[in-house]
Each structure stands twice: as structure tokens, then as C-alpha cells.
Amino acid sequence: MNLLCNAGVLFLLSAGACGQTAAPAKPDPPPVAPSASASVGPYSPITGKQRLQWFVASTVSAETLAAGVFTSAIGTGLNRPKEYGGSWPGFGKRYGLRMTGISTSNAMEAGLGAIWGEDPRYFRSYGQSVKGRLLHVIIFSFTAHDRAGHLRPAYARYIAATGNNFLSNTWRPDSEANTSSALSRTALQFAGLMGKNAYLELWPDVKSHIFKRRSH
């Protein structure tokens, strides 16, 4: 009797084991990318193609070209640098000088960032108040994602902005080819970046609101 009971128990245990083996295994849940910050959603690391796209868009996008027209016009009106004069040829020289600086800075930021995984892209916030969104704009002007999606100081951006402005002293007119001018241009570059980020953050909502009112 004991032998039969033991055999029955062994049969039930083996049947249970077989049942467990035969049952299809549940697939592992897909990995969830970590959040870069409290105001940014799940993050996907930048690819080489996306890095190239960022460089092109940041260098020759319509917004960048239009900003160049605006700043070059101001420089022509103020006659800075004075060596270029206040004429149309001077405007063209200022525009070309700005494009040279932007392309050099963007190339340095994209190239250096690729080495240690710094993502130069700007990401809009979500679920934030207006004050929170403006703070987000400022923070993302000085920080960037690493490969893991965490926010870190944007070292490639710091090096690119500073290095480009000091490097450009070698081809700038004498009145602007000095240390104080290079530091001023670096500060203005970050101020311009904040303006660009604010545009990227707020303009889609403003545009949507405008077109929504027109449709009614």
C-alpha cells in the first residue's frame, strides 16, 4: 500500500513538473528607458544618424538662418565689428562670420559628445507649469543626457562654445580678437541657446493655439 501511495505521489509530482515545463514561458517585459528628469519622459539614447541630423538642423535650419539675419542686422546697425562697416557687404561678412562660428561649435559639440555619450538634443517638458517649463529651458541649456538617460553637465557644449569663440580669434577682425570679446561671445551663445530652447519649448503650443482660434 505504501508502495502504491509513494508511486502515486511520484506520478503527481512528475505530472506537475511536466505541466510546468510545458507551459509557455512569459516573455520578459520590455526594458523601460530611465527618465532623464522629473519633467522629461522615457528617454532613448541618440543614434549616430540622429546626431548628424541634429548638427544639420542646428546649423542650417530655417530658425538658425533667420536668427543669423537678425543678429547680423543688429551688428551692422551698431557697426560691430567696426572693420566691416555699416553697409551690405559688412552685413554679409557678419553673417558669414556667424555661420562659421555656429558650424564649428556644433561640429565640436557633436563630435566630442559622441565620445562620452552626451546628447545635444533639447527635449520639451511635460506636465509642468509655465514657471516649471521656463526652469526646464534654463536647465537644459547647461545640461544634457548621458547614455543612461541621466542629466549631466553638458561638458561637450561647454568645450565647444568656449573653444570655438577663442579659436575664432584667429580669423576675426582685430577689434574682436581678444579674450574679453571671446568670453562675451561665449556668454551670448548660451543666452542665445536659452532663447532657442524657449522657442522649441513654447512655440508649438503657441502655434497650435493660433491655428485653433483661426479654425473657429
Per-residue pLDDT reduced to its tens digit, 34-61: 444 556 668 899 999 999 999 999 999 9
pLDDT at 39: 60
| Three-state SS at 152 | strand
CB 200 within 8 A of CB 140: no
What pLDDT shows up at residue 56?
A: 97
- pLDDT-derived band at 208 (thresholds 50, 70, 90) equals confident
Distance of CA 159 to the CA centre of its chain: 16
- Beta bridge partner(s), residue 143: 153
* Overall average pLDDT of the 137-159 stretch: 97
Position 20 pLDDT exceeds 90:
no
Q: Are 46 and 40 in contact (CB under 8 A)?
A: no
Q: What is the mean pLDDT of the chain?
A: 85
Best CA proximity match to 168, nearest among 100, 110, 109, 76: 100
Highest mean pLDDT among 27-31, 62-66, 162-166: 162-166
Half-sphere exposure of 121 (CA within 13 A, CB side): 25
The model's pTM: 0.79
What would you measure as the largest C-alpha separation in the chain, in angstroms?
A: 112
Count of CB atoms within 10 A of residue 13's CB? 10
Q: In whole angstroms, what is the distance from residue 200 CA to residue 210 CA? A: 16
Is residue 71 predicted with pLDDT exceeding 80?
yes
Which segments of the chain does DSSP mark as H helices, in order? 2-22, 48-60, 62-78, 88-116, 130-142, 155-167, 179-215
Share of the chain above pLDDT 90, in %: 72
- On the question of pLDDT at 12 being above 80, the answer is no
For residue 143, the surrounding DSSP H or E stretch is: strand 143-145
- 153 phi/psi in degrees, rounded to 5: -55, 140
Residue 60 CB coordination number (10 Å): 14
Confidence of residue 216 (pLDDT cuts 50, 70, 90): low
103 in Cβ contact with 97 (< 8 Å): no
Range with the lowest mean pLDDT among 74-78, 116-120, 179-183, 201-205? 201-205
DSSP 3-state assignment of 215? helix
Residue boundaries of the structural domains of the chain: 46-215
